């Protein structure tokens, strides 16, 4: 046992050092840590203060349904713990396969759980302890302090283990089942869209209400009654005591269950992948139209996206801007001109960044062989541009046409906006190649709590967004209803002419920027040298 504990501590120390080095080496991680710290500090003060005032309201009788409120608060804590760290990095540690050749999975998971307890558990325990003491002072009961501390500790601990268990079952199913693996990307995108839609539409309450109905009559809610009993407020001692016993037993059972689930995921070899010549059908279609080196780049881009869609997660950023206007459009039942223009710009931006904003850095370990290939610059630049435009342009054009005809825009304006969107979308991909070649990123960074990927640099995102904004501005302003009418009234021309003029200006800017950028990217690739 002492050897196991010493190895567990060694694993935890190593993991803590690794995370600290990753934070220091990555400016984005440092920024994220600063943001989390700014968010945590008000909570560290607000939670104890809220506990004090909440205790004051309880003893004064101002809370009309104290049992229901405390049950609801208990369930909220449990759900938050399960959701917050459910898909934590504890399930996907770095160099996992190498570690499992030297230590057992029990020691590894124990060390990782100890790391989680140190990073998150220690600060949370200090905050909860302060809240428990202030709550006890407010209700005038010494017994309330340890009761609140133990109750919150059990809720958070069991919630965290439950989230880990659910995540393990989902990940194991995706790793071992061919069917689940095939629909993993679609399921992840669906969950993400639903998740963002719930928050942006203010529907959190509608989601939580059924969960409250389900869990408040269970021991998860009864732990709240135990707090009332310790404060001298009328509540069920039997239910509170039973919840305490169930929580302790659940915590004792949860750790062995996690220990049994972990090897199912960590030692999963995954479903056997059958090789089929049918997968080359798309390649043969492109081969008849494009040079073979360029076809190879397009094919590799699409395969990488299919195998690791998380590496393109940055491309969905503009969709966040569309959520609120989309909700307003659904609520009002009318499509405004501004929404059409926002959809067009989002489609242009996404099409441009799909595969082109980090054309050299995306190659990773195969960069040397890629650069040594014949016609590398022409094939890489052109192939990445085609990989993004062949996917993004049809979707963008279809969305603009569909939404445009539902908006107040005239038919000619919709067609000119769609045509301009296609041209600027193609130019955006070419523009991104030069910016990506000038500001590459070679190292993988965290894109979620448990995944890393090589994504474009922050400076590349900023530079690309500024250039695309400048290029798209005449097109968007020319098709804006307010701006178009204002310009037409001043110049004495029709709004359609204003839109066509904006299209012409954007085409000129797009042609100039895209040509310079693509030529620069090709030269950078052809003359690339390793430091």
Specify whether the CB–CB gap between 150 and 244 falls below 8 A: yes
Tens digits of residue pLDDT in 440-460: 877 766 665 556 677 788 888
Tokens 């242009």 locate to 348
Tokens 């205790």 locate to 55
Specify whether the CB–CB gap between 51 and 131 falls below 8 A: yes
Specify whether the CB–CB gap between 158 and 78 falls below 8 A: yes
Helix (H) or strand (E) holding 374: none
Token pair for 421: 């969107």
pLDDT band with cut points at 50, 70 and 90 for residue 3:
very low
Specify whether the CB–CB gap between 318 and 196 falls below 8 A: no
Quick one: CA dihedral 400, 404, 409, 414, positive or negative? positive
Distance in angstroms (rounded) separating the CA atoms of residues 162 and 255? 10
Contacts with 369 (C-beta within 8 Å, 6 or more apart), sequence order: none
The closest alpha carbon to 389, from 364, 419, 418, 424, belongs to: 424
- According to the model, what pLDDT value does residue 92 have? 73
pLDDT of 329 > 50? The answer is yes
Distance in angstroms (rounded) separating the CA atoms of residues 85 and 167? 10
Tens digits of residue pLDDT in 383-394: 888 888 998 899
Most confidently modeled of 150-154, 231-235, 301-305, 306-310? 150-154
- According to the model, what pLDDT value does residue 32 have? 59
- According to the model, what pLDDT value does residue 370 have? 54
Specify whether the CB–CB gap between 316 and 353 falls below 8 A: no
pLDDT of 122 > 80? The answer is yes
Higher-confidence position of 464 and 194: 464
pLDDT, mean over the chain: 80
- According to the model, what pLDDT value does residue 276 have? 42
DSSP assigned state of 273? P
pLDDT of 272 > 60? The answer is no
The region, left, alpha or beta by phi > 0 then psi within -120 to 50, assigned to residue 232 is left
HSE-up of residue 169 (Cα within 13 Å, Cβ side):
6
Mean local confidence (pLDDT), 149-168: 90
Distance in angstroms (rounded) separating the CA atoms of residues 331 and 324? 11
- According to the model, what pLDDT value does residue 134 have? 92
For residues 6, 12, 158 and 201, what is the CA-based torsion angle, rounded to 10 degrees? 180
Distance in angstroms (rounded) separating the CA atoms of residues 324 and 326? 5
Helix (H, G, I), strand (E, B) or coil at 453: strand
Helix (H, G, I), strand (E, B) or coil at 161: helix
pLDDT band with cut points at 50, 70 and 90 for residue 146:
very high
Tens digits of residue pLDDT in 220-230: 989 888 888 88
CA distances from 344 to 313, 322, 398 (A): 19, 11, 10
CA 51 to chain centre: 32
Tens digits of residue pLDDT in 182-220: 666 666 667 766 766 666 666 677 778 888 888 889 999
Mean local confidence (pLDDT), 247-260: 88
- According to the model, what pLDDT value does residue 105 have? 83
- According to the model, what pLDDT value does residue 267 have? 82
Distance in angstroms (rounded) separating the CA atoms of residues 257 and 343? 47
Specify whether the CB–CB gap between 501 and 478 falls below 8 A: yes
Mean local confidence (pLDDT), 85-107: 73
Tens digits of residue pLDDT in 4-62: 677 777 878 887 787 777 666 555 556 656 666 666 777 888 889 988 998 888 888 77
- According to the model, what pLDDT value does residue 470 have? 93
pLDDT of 492 > 90? The answer is no
pLDDT of 83 > 50? The answer is yes
Token pair for 278: 């049918």
């Amino acid at each position: 046992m002492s050897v196991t504990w010493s190895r567990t501590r060694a694993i935890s120390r190593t993991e803590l050092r690794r995370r600290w080095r990753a934070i220091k080496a990555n400016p984005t991680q440092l920024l994220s840590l600063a943001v989390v710290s700014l968010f945590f500090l008000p909570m560290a003060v607000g939670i104890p203060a809220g506990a004090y005032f909440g205790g004051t309201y309880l003893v004064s009788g101002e809370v009309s349904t104290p049992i229901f409120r405390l049950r609801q608060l208990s369930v909220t804590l449990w759900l938050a713990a399960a959701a917050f760290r459910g898909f934590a990095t504890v399930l996907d540690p770095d160099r996992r396969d190498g570690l499992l050749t030297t230590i057992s999975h029990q020691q590894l998971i124990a060390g990782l759980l100890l790391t989680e307890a140190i990073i998150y558990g220690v600060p949370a325990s200090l905050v909860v302890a302060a809240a428990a003491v202030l709550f006890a002072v407010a209700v005038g009961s010494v017994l309330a302090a340890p009761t609140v501390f133990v109750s919150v500790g059990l809720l958070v601990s069991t919630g965290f283990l439950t989230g880990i268990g659910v995540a393990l079952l989902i990940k194991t199913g995706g790793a071992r089942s061919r069917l689940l693996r095939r629909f993993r990307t679609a399921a992840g995108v669906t969950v993400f869209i639903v998740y963002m839609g719930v928050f942006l539409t203010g529907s959190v309450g509608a989601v939580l209400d059924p969960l409250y109905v389900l869990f408040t009559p269970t021991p998860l809610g009864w732990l709240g009654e135990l707090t009332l009993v310790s404060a001298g407020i009328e509540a069920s001692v039997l239910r509170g005591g039973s919840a305490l016993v169930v929580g302790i037993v659940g915590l004792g059972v949860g750790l062995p269950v996690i220990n049994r689930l972990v090897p199912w995921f960590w030692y999963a070899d995954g479903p056997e992948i059958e090789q089929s010549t049918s997968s080359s059908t798309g390649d043969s279609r492109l081969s008849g139209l494009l040079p073979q080196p360029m076809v190879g780049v397009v094919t590799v881009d699409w395969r990488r996206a299919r195998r690791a869609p998380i590496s393109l997660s940055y491309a969905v950023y503009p969709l966040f801007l569309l959520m609120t206007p989309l909700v307003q459009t659904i609520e009002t039942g009318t499509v405004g001109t501004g929404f059409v223009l926002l959809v067009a710009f989002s489609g242009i931006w996404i099409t441009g960044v799909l595969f082109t904003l980090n054309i050299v850095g995306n190659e990773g370990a195969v960069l040397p062989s890629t650069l040594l290939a014949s016609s590398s610059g022409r094939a890489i630049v052109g192939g990445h541009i085609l990989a993004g435009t062949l996917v993004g342009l049809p979707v963008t054009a279809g969305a603009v046409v569909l939404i445009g005809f539902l908006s107040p825009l005239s038919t000619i304006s919709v067609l000119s906006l769609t045509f301009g969107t296609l041209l600027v979308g193609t130019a955006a991909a070419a523009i991104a190649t030069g910016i990506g070649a000038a500001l590459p990123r070679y190292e993988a960074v965290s894109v979620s709590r448990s995944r890393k990927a090589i994504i474009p640099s922050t400076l590349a995102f900023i530079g690309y967004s500024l250039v695309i904004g400048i290029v798209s501005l005449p097109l968007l302003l020319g098709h804006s209803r307010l701006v178009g009418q204002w310009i037409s009234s001043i110049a004495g021309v029709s709004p359609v002419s204003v839109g066509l003029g904006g299209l012409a200006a954007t085409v000129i800017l797009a042609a100039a920027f895209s040509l310079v950028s693509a030529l620069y990217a090709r030269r950078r690739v052809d003359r690339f040298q390793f430091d």
